[in-house]
């Protein structure tokens, strides 16, 4: 499986670091929504779903976490632990976020507004969905 990581150039000076991410330039889509998670309960995993259309970039802007990606055929785990590294997740990809450090803040830039009907929350349904699309 091809993992698409983006490295954003920090604008560092004596005051510290600043990272800017521009839609359709630094990432391949228009950003419609930004959300972030923090204060994650120790030991929990989040996600356990796929999307039909949504594309996203995940940045762990503080702390660290792991992301399990599963396209129905292969699985890969990515560690996010740098605030200027973004993981691209396409639609049709089962994802699980886990192993959050206590200080983790996981920020997500999303290509669409929140839409519950875009979620596939059942793993068997996901496998049938990707198979029906010939993926």
Q: Alpha-carbon distance 86 to 83, whole Å?
A: 8
Q: Number of residues in contact with ligand T46, rule: CB under 6 A?
A: 10
Q: Alpha-carbon distance 118 to 100, whole Å?
A: 25
Q: Which of 108, 109, 120, 130 touches ligand T46 (CB under 6 A)? A: 108
Does residue 52 interact with ligand T46 by CB under 6 A? no
The region of 5-13, 18-26, 30-38, 79-87 touching ligand T46 under the rule CB under 6 A is: 30-38
- Compose the 61-100 pattern: x for residues touching ligand T46 by CB under 6 A, - for all others: ----------------------------------x-x---
Does residue 114 interact with ligand T46 by CB under 6 A? yes
Tokens at 69, concatenated:
């990606």
Q: Alpha-carbon distance 123 to 127, whole Å?
A: 6
51 is catalytic: no
Does residue 4 interact with ligand T46 by CB under 6 A? no
Catalytic residue ranges: 49
Q: Enumerate binding residues for ligand T46 (CB under 6 A).
A: 33, 35, 37, 46-47, 56, 95, 97, 108, 114
């Amino acid at each position: 499986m091809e993992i698409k990581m983006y490295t954003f150039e920090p604008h560092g000076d004596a005051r510290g670091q600043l990272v800017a991410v521009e839609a359709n330039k630094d990432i391949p889509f228009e950003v419609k929504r930004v959300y972030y998670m923090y204060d994650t309960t120790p030991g929990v995993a989040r996600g356990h779903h796929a999307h039909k259309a949504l594309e996203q970039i995940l940045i762990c802007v503080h702390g660290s976490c792991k992301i399990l990606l599963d396209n129905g055929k292969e699985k890969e785990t990515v560690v996010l632990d740098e605030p200027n590294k973004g993981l691209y997740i396409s639609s049709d990809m089962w994802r699980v976020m886990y192993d959050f450090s206590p200080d983790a803040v996981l920020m997500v830039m999303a290509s669409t507004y929140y839409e519950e009907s875009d979620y596939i929350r059942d793993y068997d349904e996901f496998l049938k969905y990707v198979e029906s699309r010939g993926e």
